[in-house]
Amino acid sequence: QVAIMDFKRRKAVFTGVNAPELHGEIVGESYVVVGNLLAREEVVKSMAGEFERSSGDLAWRMARALKAGSESGGDRRGEKSAALIVVSTEEVEVEIKVDKHANPVGELFQKLS
């Protein structure tokens, strides 16, 4: 499963026939949400909805979308890691990675603060 969006908001999404079930993808005007091994179909829908409703800078909008996905079921295997990377044309603005944590999305929020 691959998703790409460039600085001109051109998007490409591919989910292969061998992608693990349950998988989903949503392409919005200014975002792409993908997921596989989902606990429920609503995971990607809740992430897209939260991103659309959110305001503020991109990192916080993305973090809130991750939290919405987690709260609606997340990964069916349980959550072990989370990452948030935001880049501009000039630099990496935000790069947060949380691995092997009991509450990776919560820890990501702590690090973003």
For position 16, what pLDDT does the model report?
Answer: 93
Confidence of residue 41 (pLDDT cuts 50, 70, 90): very high
26 forms beta bridges with: 33
Q: Give dist(CA 95, CA 85) in Å, integer.
A: 4
Sequence spans of domains, the chain: 2-112
For position 101, what pLDDT does the model report?
Answer: 95
Q: Give dist(CA 73, CA 94) in Å, integer.
A: 26
For position 88, what pLDDT does the model report?
Answer: 87
For position 89, what pLDDT does the model report?
Answer: 85
Of the candidates 75, 79, 15, the residue with the CA atom closest to the CA atom of residue 43: 75
**Mean local confidence (pLDDT), 46-54:** 97
The pTM assigned to this predicted structure is: 0.90
Check pLDDT > 90 for residue 112.
Answer: yes
Name the superfamily (CATH) of residues 2-112.
Aminohydrolase, N-terminal nucleophile (Ntn) domain (3.60.20.10)
**Mean local confidence (pLDDT), 51-74:** 96
Q: What is the pLDDT of residues 15-35, one digit of tens each?
A: 999 998 999 999 999 999 999
